[in-house]
Structure 1
Amino acid sequence: MQIRISSTILAAGIAVLAGAAAYAGPLQDRIDAGEPLRIGFSNIPIWGYPDENGDAKGFVNEITIGILKKMGHDTVEATVTDWGGLIPGLQANRYDMITGGLYILNSRCENITFSEPIAQSGDAFIVPVGNPKGIQTYQDILAAEALLAAGSGYNTVEAAKKEGLTDAMIMQVPGPTEMLAAVKAGRADAAGMTYFEAAHLADSDDSIDVTDPAALPDWTLNWVGVGFRDADSEFVAEFNTALADYIGSEEMMQTVAQYGYTKSTLPGDITTEWTCANR
């Protein structure tokens, strides 16, 4: 499969939006014209990121590309952007689909169409080693009058506010690199993110600990999908048909094992319709 990555990497290592020309019309028009399918994703460890060669990696990208290949689409152009630019970029026709660990949330379902779920995941906090403020839940942050770092556009911002945290108690930053820096510098007492991200950061930095995702309420368990424009519903239906055959297959599980994706990560019987209504 041909994959072209378009990205601009800052000195700090954060990938930001590269110029991708907008293309008017539905996704099928691009397919009929022989144009590459364009994936937008953010630089989020484990979920979706460019490797040292610029190739699209991460289990969400691997699954998406695997499904597209099964559908007969062999030419893919992947663009790295900031997290907050994913949905606006999709709506502006810069990409044909967006990946990188988007939880299927009601607030997002109002703006884009999701595929059926491809994974389930819980959240966790990174905290200074030893967890000096005893933070395991949002209620712990509230009781300690602590400061939470969260990625701009992350589900953890919504979750924190639902649990009673005020805007003043939430420091919104671009992504995991900035969240880690805020905790390490003492500018935040904890940072909320997916457990996959938290565990990845802790593996390479012994100055932080990861809280137990099971300590958070059941409603914080989320399901991951691939995002599309509403106008591309016919393509999404075809994508879902191929997804149903591919998800959990031996081929898929071998591909994503390197990212820690196991049978427990499979989405189960939960549908996007249910998730949009309940998350």
Structure 2
Amino acid sequence: MTTATFKLIGATAFTAVMAVTSALAGPIEDRIAAGEPLRIGFANIPIWAYPGDDGQAEGFVNEIAVETLASMGYDNVETVVTDWAGLIPGLKAGRYDMVTGGLYILNSRCQNIDFSEPVGNFGDAFLVPTGNPKNITTYKDVLDQGVTMVTGAGYNTVESAKKEGLTDAQIMQVPGPTEVFAAVKAGRADAGILTYFEVKELADKSDGALEVTDPALLPDWTKNFAAIGFRPEDADFLAKYNAAQAAYMGTDEMMATVTPYGYTESHLPGDITAEWACANR
């Protein structure tokens, strides 16, 4: 972890600081010139991005972003934690300057924000009761059996489920992983779907009540590419950030930092670009 200076603003503090953040909002380079911290926004998503005990940005996506910024000479970083659904609206409103947290590059999101080049490729998986009594491994299984799945509001999995024919009535949308876990464990949903990393962690803490399906059974088009989100008006800074990130991706230094989170060389994005992902996801 880099020795960046962090200040944590919790979601509950947003109302109190709205006037301040609005006054400070502006292109990243203007903030740098004014000596203001760069504000990283993310939801509290285990493994991907979450606040540490002292407010530092932890999780492998945060680590990649913070280390990339450090390589550019920027270590005055402020973390802003919000709900997942507030990430893109908050970025557009100027509450923070960039968003992390495992945000996938999706065409619908590319209409609203710009993305860095990908920081990795990742698959989703289902969280099901142990033994998988409904034999749910794909969206088609959910559709054909007329059962209910649960996922996070605003997650890519909502779009994926609807692409496979599921109706709103079959998709329970909740704030995040904790609520997905509760819904499946209590039987309010027959299966939950999140990223494999999230589902694996939830199953591990279920005391054997829940298990993870094989992510390879989902269609290849459901594999996604995570990146860092920026406002379009920060395009000049994004170009510099991309150059620094490219120099960092896949290095021994990076892999030593992200491996403890479960990120492996198989997750490196390869030659996939943000432009391709915007057009194809």
2:73 counterpart of 1:72: yes
Distance in 2 of aligned mates of 1:58 and 1:19: 25
Change (3 A) 1:52 1:16: farther
Return the TM-score normalized by structure 1: 0.95
| 203-212 or 227-236, larger mean C-alpha shift | 203-212
Aligned to 2:95: 94
1:203 is matched with 204
Report the CA distance between 1:53 and its aligned residue.
3.4
Correspondence for 1:270 among 259, 269, 272: 272
**Per-residue deviation, residues 50-106 of structure 1 (Å, max 9, x unmatched):** 133332110000000000000100100001100000000000000000000000000
How many residues of Structure 1 are paired with residues of Structure 2 in the alignment?
274
Which residue of the partner structure matches residue 45 of structure 2? 44
For the 8 Å contact 2:25–2:95, the answer to whether it is kept is no
Q: Could you give the per-residue CA deviations for residues 222-257 of structure 1, whole angstroms, max 9, x where no partner exists?
A: 001000000000000000000110001111111111
Are the counterparts in 1 of residues 47 and 59 from structure 2 also a CA contact under 8 Å?
yes
Q: CA deviation at 1:19?
A: 3.5
Equivalences for residues 192-231 of structure 1 within 5 A: 192-205=193-206, 206-231=208-233
Change over 3 Å in CA distance of 1:8–1:108 after alignment to 2: closer
Percent identity, aligned pairs only, is: 62
* Alpha-carbon distance between aligned partners in 2 of 1:154 and 1:262, rounded to the nearest angstrom: 23
Q: Which residue in the other structure is 1:260 paired with?
A: 262
For the residue of structure 2 that corresponds to 1:171, the secondary structure is: strand
Give the match for residue 6 of structure 1. 9
- Structure 1 residue ranges (4+ consecutive) displaced by more than 3 angstroms after TM superposition: 15-20
* C-alpha RMSD over aligned residues: 1.4
Give the CA deviation at 1:129.
1.2
Counterpart residue type for residue 232 of structure 2: D
Is the CA contact (8 Å cut-off) linking 1:8 and 1:18 kept in structure 2?
Answer: no
Name the CA distance, whole Å, in 2 between partners of 1:95 and 1:27: 10
Name the counterpart of 2:29: 28
Q: TM-score under structure 2 normalisation?
A: 0.95
SS in 1 for 2:142: helix
What is the CA distance between 1:8 and its match in structure 2?
4.8
The code of the aligned residue for 1:4 comes to K
1:108-147 aligned at under 5 Å gives the runs 108-147=109-148
Segment of structure 1 superposing worse, 99-108 or 197-206? 197-206
Task: Give unmatched runs, 5+ long, in structure 2.
Answer: none
Once the two structures are TM-superposed, the CA of residue 143 in structure 1 deviates from its matched residue by 1.1
